Protein backbone atom coordinates (compact mmCIF):
# COMPACT_ATOMS: atom_id res chain seq x y z
CA UNK A 1 0.00 0.00 0.00
CA UNK A 2 2.83 2.40 0.91
CA UNK A 3 6.34 1.91 -0.38
CA UNK A 4 9.17 4.12 0.80
CA UNK A 5 12.62 3.85 -0.73
CA UNK A 6 15.87 5.49 0.32
CA UNK A 7 14.16 8.39 2.03
CA UNK A 8 16.48 11.07 3.35
CA UNK A 9 15.62 14.25 5.20
CA UNK A 10 17.81 16.92 6.80
CA UNK A 11 16.64 19.83 8.91
CA UNK A 12 19.71 22.04 8.50
CA UNK A 13 22.60 20.02 9.94
CA UNK A 14 20.27 17.49 11.60
CA UNK A 15 19.93 14.24 9.65
CA UNK A 16 16.36 13.29 10.60
CA UNK A 17 15.78 10.37 8.17
CA UNK A 18 18.62 8.23 6.88
CA UNK A 19 17.94 6.12 3.80
CA UNK A 20 14.65 4.82 5.19
CA UNK A 21 13.08 1.85 3.39
CA UNK A 22 9.63 0.65 4.44
CA UNK A 23 6.83 -1.36 2.90
CA UNK A 24 3.49 -0.84 4.66
CA UNK A 25 1.13 -3.75 4.06
CA UNK A 26 -2.47 -2.98 3.03
CA UNK A 27 -5.36 -3.66 5.39
CA UNK A 28 -3.18 -3.89 8.49
CA UNK A 29 -2.22 -1.70 11.42
CA UNK A 30 1.44 -0.73 11.36
CA UNK A 31 2.91 1.02 14.39
CA UNK A 32 5.83 3.36 13.76
CA UNK A 33 7.71 3.38 17.04
CA UNK A 34 10.92 4.80 18.43
CA UNK A 35 12.24 7.20 21.05
CA UNK A 36 11.47 10.93 21.07
CA UNK A 37 13.13 12.58 18.11
CA UNK A 38 13.68 9.29 16.22
CA UNK A 39 11.96 10.66 13.10
CA UNK A 40 8.46 9.13 13.31
CA UNK A 41 6.51 12.32 12.66
CA UNK A 42 8.95 13.37 9.94
CA UNK A 43 8.40 10.02 8.21
CA UNK A 44 4.61 10.30 8.44
CA UNK A 45 4.60 13.92 7.30
CA UNK A 46 6.78 12.99 4.32
CA UNK A 47 4.12 10.51 3.19
CA UNK A 48 1.43 13.14 3.72
CA UNK A 49 3.37 15.65 1.61
CA UNK A 50 3.71 18.00 4.60
CA UNK A 51 7.48 17.57 4.77
CA UNK A 52 9.61 17.63 1.61
CA UNK A 53 12.28 14.92 1.74
CA UNK A 54 15.74 15.63 0.30
CA UNK A 55 15.68 12.42 -1.72
CA UNK A 56 13.98 9.05 -2.03
CA UNK A 57 10.61 7.90 -3.32
CA UNK A 58 7.20 7.34 -1.74
CA UNK A 59 4.23 5.69 -3.40
CA UNK A 60 0.76 5.42 -1.88
CA UNK A 61 -1.58 2.92 -3.50
CA UNK A 62 0.57 3.02 -6.64
CA UNK A 63 0.71 6.84 -6.87
CA UNK A 64 4.01 8.68 -6.46
CA UNK A 65 3.61 11.23 -3.69
CA UNK A 66 5.55 13.95 -5.48
CA UNK A 67 3.78 13.59 -8.78
CA UNK A 68 0.12 13.80 -7.76
CA UNK A 69 -1.62 15.62 -4.94
CA UNK A 70 -4.88 13.74 -5.52
CA UNK A 71 -3.56 10.75 -3.57
CA UNK A 72 -4.19 12.80 -0.43
CA UNK A 73 -7.92 12.31 -0.89
CA UNK A 74 -7.35 8.68 0.03
CA UNK A 75 -5.65 9.65 3.28
CA UNK A 76 -6.98 10.58 6.72
CA UNK A 77 -4.62 12.18 9.23
CA UNK A 78 -4.95 12.69 12.95
CA UNK A 79 -2.03 14.93 13.95
CA UNK A 80 -0.24 14.79 17.28
CA UNK A 81 -1.50 18.28 18.10
CA UNK A 82 -4.81 19.44 16.63
CA UNK A 83 -4.57 22.95 15.15
CA UNK A 84 -7.68 24.53 13.67
CA UNK A 85 -8.81 28.18 13.51
CA UNK A 86 -9.32 29.04 17.18
CA UNK A 87 -12.37 31.26 16.72
CA UNK A 88 -14.41 28.83 14.65
CA UNK A 89 -16.90 26.63 16.43
CA UNK A 90 -16.59 22.91 16.22
CA UNK A 91 -19.51 22.79 13.79
CA UNK A 92 -17.90 25.48 11.60
CA UNK A 93 -14.63 23.56 11.52
CA UNK A 94 -16.38 20.40 10.33
CA UNK A 95 -18.31 22.42 7.71
CA UNK A 96 -15.12 24.13 6.57
CA UNK A 97 -13.33 20.81 6.09
CA UNK A 98 -16.33 19.41 4.22
CA UNK A 99 -16.32 22.48 1.93
CA UNK A 100 -12.62 22.11 1.24
CA UNK A 101 -13.21 18.49 0.27
CA UNK A 102 -16.13 19.44 -1.97
CA UNK A 103 -19.00 18.24 0.18
CA UNK A 104 -21.84 20.77 0.08
CA UNK A 105 -25.42 21.16 1.27
CA UNK A 106 -26.28 19.63 4.58
CA UNK A 107 -24.58 21.59 7.32
CA UNK A 108 -25.62 18.95 9.83
CA UNK A 109 -23.12 16.65 11.38
CA UNK A 110 -24.55 13.51 12.88
CA UNK A 111 -27.51 13.76 10.50
CA UNK A 112 -25.45 13.99 7.34
CA UNK A 113 -27.78 13.06 4.50
CA UNK A 114 -25.23 11.97 1.93
CA UNK A 115 -24.21 8.89 3.88
CA UNK A 116 -20.74 9.31 2.34
CA UNK A 117 -19.35 10.74 5.51
CA UNK A 118 -18.48 8.75 8.59
CA UNK A 119 -19.89 10.59 11.61
CA UNK A 120 -19.82 7.62 13.96
CA UNK A 121 -17.13 9.12 16.19
CA UNK A 122 -18.97 12.46 16.33
CA UNK A 123 -21.98 10.63 17.70
CA UNK A 124 -20.07 8.31 20.01
CA UNK A 125 -18.06 11.22 21.46
CA UNK A 126 -21.35 13.10 21.85
CA UNK A 127 -19.89 16.18 20.17
CA UNK A 128 -23.33 17.67 19.42
CA UNK A 129 -23.19 19.04 22.95
CA UNK A 130 -19.95 20.91 22.11
CA UNK A 131 -20.65 21.96 18.55
CA UNK A 132 -21.31 25.65 19.18
CA UNK A 133 -18.19 26.22 21.26
CA UNK A 134 -15.24 28.05 19.67
CA UNK A 135 -12.29 25.72 19.21
CA UNK A 136 -10.13 27.84 21.55
CA UNK A 137 -12.46 27.02 24.46
CA UNK A 138 -12.34 23.24 24.01
CA UNK A 139 -10.45 21.04 26.45
CA UNK A 140 -7.38 19.19 25.20
CA UNK A 141 -9.25 15.89 25.06
CA UNK A 142 -12.14 17.38 23.11
CA UNK A 143 -9.68 18.88 20.63
CA UNK A 144 -8.30 15.37 20.13
CA UNK A 145 -11.83 14.08 19.54
CA UNK A 146 -12.43 16.67 16.80
CA UNK A 147 -9.19 15.64 15.22
CA UNK A 148 -10.23 11.97 15.32
CA UNK A 149 -13.62 12.74 13.78
CA UNK A 150 -11.97 14.62 10.91
CA UNK A 151 -9.44 11.85 10.27
CA UNK A 152 -12.19 9.25 9.77
CA UNK A 153 -14.75 11.59 8.17
CA UNK A 154 -14.14 10.86 4.49
CA UNK A 155 -13.72 7.09 4.91
CA UNK A 156 -10.06 7.14 3.80
CA UNK A 157 -8.26 4.09 2.44
CA UNK A 158 -5.19 5.01 4.50
CA UNK A 159 -5.26 6.48 7.99
CA UNK A 160 -2.36 8.07 9.87
CA UNK A 161 -2.87 8.42 13.60
CA UNK A 162 -0.08 10.27 15.42
CA UNK A 163 -0.40 9.41 19.13
CA UNK A 164 -4.19 9.17 18.86
CA UNK A 165 -4.98 8.48 22.54
CA UNK A 166 -3.01 11.39 23.97
CA UNK A 167 -5.27 13.42 26.24
CA UNK A 168 -8.29 11.13 25.85
CA UNK A 169 -10.07 9.76 28.91
CA UNK A 170 -10.28 5.94 29.13
CA UNK A 171 -13.83 5.71 27.78
CA UNK A 172 -13.05 7.94 24.79
CA UNK A 173 -9.80 6.14 24.16
CA UNK A 174 -11.72 2.82 24.12
CA UNK A 175 -14.24 4.25 21.66
CA UNK A 176 -11.39 5.32 19.39
CA UNK A 177 -9.72 1.90 19.61
CA UNK A 178 -13.00 0.17 18.73
CA UNK A 179 -13.29 2.46 15.74
CA UNK A 180 -9.73 1.72 14.62
CA UNK A 181 -10.38 -2.04 14.80
CA UNK A 182 -13.68 -1.64 12.91
CA UNK A 183 -11.87 0.29 10.15
CA UNK A 184 -9.42 -2.56 9.71
CA UNK A 185 -12.35 -4.92 9.07
CA UNK A 186 -13.38 -2.50 6.30
CA UNK A 187 -9.96 -2.96 4.69
CA UNK A 188 -8.42 0.38 5.68
CA UNK A 189 -4.64 0.58 6.06
CA UNK A 190 -3.68 2.22 9.34
CA UNK A 191 -0.35 3.65 10.45
CA UNK A 192 -0.07 4.83 14.02
CA UNK A 193 2.53 6.16 16.38
CA UNK A 194 2.25 5.84 20.13
CA UNK A 195 4.40 5.73 23.22
CA UNK A 196 1.79 3.55 24.97
CA UNK A 197 3.00 0.03 24.27
CA UNK A 198 -0.08 -1.69 25.72
CA UNK A 199 -2.15 0.21 23.17
CA UNK A 200 0.17 -0.76 20.33
CA UNK A 201 0.09 -4.41 21.41
CA UNK A 202 -3.70 -4.30 21.45
CA UNK A 203 -3.98 -2.75 18.01
CA UNK A 204 -0.97 -3.28 15.79
CA UNK A 205 -0.04 -6.14 13.45
CA UNK A 206 3.37 -4.79 12.47
CA UNK A 207 6.03 -2.70 14.17
CA UNK A 208 8.47 -0.44 12.33
CA UNK A 209 11.05 0.73 14.85
CA UNK A 210 13.01 3.91 14.10
CA UNK A 211 16.17 4.91 15.91
CA UNK A 212 18.13 8.06 15.11
CA UNK A 213 16.42 8.34 11.74
CA UNK A 214 17.07 4.75 10.65
CA UNK A 215 14.87 1.68 10.53
CA UNK A 216 16.17 -0.42 13.39
CA UNK A 217 13.82 -3.34 12.83
CA UNK A 218 10.55 -4.15 11.09
CA UNK A 219 8.65 -7.14 12.50
CA UNK A 220 5.17 -8.43 13.16
CA UNK A 221 4.06 -8.03 16.78
CA UNK A 222 3.72 -11.81 17.13
CA UNK A 223 7.27 -12.42 15.78
CA UNK A 224 8.65 -9.73 18.04
CA UNK A 225 7.10 -11.38 21.10
CA UNK A 226 8.13 -14.86 19.98
CA UNK A 227 11.72 -13.85 19.07
CA UNK A 228 12.31 -12.14 22.39
CA UNK A 229 10.35 -14.58 24.56
CA UNK A 230 8.60 -11.68 26.26
CA UNK A 231 4.91 -11.37 27.18
CA UNK A 232 4.49 -7.69 26.51
CA UNK A 233 5.52 -5.46 23.64
CA UNK A 234 7.13 -3.01 26.03
CA UNK A 235 9.41 -5.74 27.40
CA UNK A 236 10.04 -7.17 23.92
CA UNK A 237 11.20 -3.82 22.57
CA UNK A 238 13.34 -3.11 25.63
CA UNK A 239 14.88 -6.58 25.21
CA UNK A 240 15.55 -6.07 21.50
CA UNK A 241 17.02 -2.61 21.94
CA UNK A 242 19.14 -3.81 24.86
CA UNK A 243 20.41 -6.82 22.93
CA UNK A 244 21.13 -4.99 19.68
CA UNK A 245 22.49 -2.01 21.59
CA UNK A 246 24.96 -4.29 23.39
CA UNK A 247 26.06 -5.81 20.08
CA UNK A 248 26.42 -2.35 18.57
CA UNK A 249 28.51 -1.00 21.40
CA UNK A 250 30.69 -4.15 21.51
CA UNK A 251 31.42 -3.55 17.84
CA UNK A 252 32.11 0.12 18.48
CA UNK A 253 29.11 1.18 16.38
CA UNK A 254 26.51 3.76 17.17
CA UNK A 255 25.71 6.24 14.43
CA UNK A 256 26.15 3.91 11.46
CA UNK A 257 24.95 0.76 13.18
CA UNK A 258 23.06 -1.65 10.96
CA UNK A 259 20.62 -3.73 13.00
CA UNK A 260 20.74 -7.50 13.00
CA UNK A 261 18.31 -9.10 10.58
CA UNK A 262 14.93 -9.24 12.36
Ligand X SMILES: Nc1ncnc2c1ncn2[C@@H]1O[C@H](COP(=O)(O)OP(=O)(O)OP(=O)(O)O)[C@@H](O)[C@H]1O
- Binding region for ligand X (CB under 6 A): 11, 14, 16, 34, 36-42
Residue 139 CB contacts under 8 Å (≥ 6 apart), including other chains: none
CA trace torsion 179, 181, 185, 189 (10° rounding): 100
| Closest approach of ligand X to the CB of residue 11, in Å | 3
- Helices 140-152, 90-100: inter-axial angle, 10-degree rounding: 30
Residues paired with 211 in a beta bridge: 214
Q: Work out how close the CB of 80 gets to ligand X at its nearest, in angstroms, rounded to a whole number.
A: 6
Nearer to ligand X, 46 or 188 (CB): 46
CB nearer ligand X, residue 196 or residue 225: 196
Buried b or exposed e, range 114-125, using 16+ CB within 10 angstroms? eeebbbbbbebb
d(CA 99, CA 44): 25
CB of 33 to ligand X, least distance (A): 9
Question: Which CB atom, from 208 or from 248, has the smaller least distance to ligand X?
Answer: 208
Q: Which CB atom, from 34 or from 76, has the smaller least distance to ligand X? A: 34
Instruction: Please report how close the Cβ of residue 163 comes to ligand X at its closest, in angstroms.
Output: 7
HSE, side-chain direction, 13 A CA sphere, residue 123: 11
Q: How far is the CB of 37 from ligand X (least distance, A)?
A: 4
| CB of 97 or CB of 238, closer to ligand X | 238
Question: By C-alpha distance, which of 105, 101, 102, 121 is closest to 113?
Answer: 105
Amino acid sequence: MITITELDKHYGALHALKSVEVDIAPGKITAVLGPNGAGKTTLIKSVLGLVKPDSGTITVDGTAVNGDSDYRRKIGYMPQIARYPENLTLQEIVDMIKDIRGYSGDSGTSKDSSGDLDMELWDRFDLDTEKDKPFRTLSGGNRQKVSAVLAFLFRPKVLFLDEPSTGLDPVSSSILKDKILAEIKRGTTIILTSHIMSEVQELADQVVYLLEGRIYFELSVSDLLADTGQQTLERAIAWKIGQNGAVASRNGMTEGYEPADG
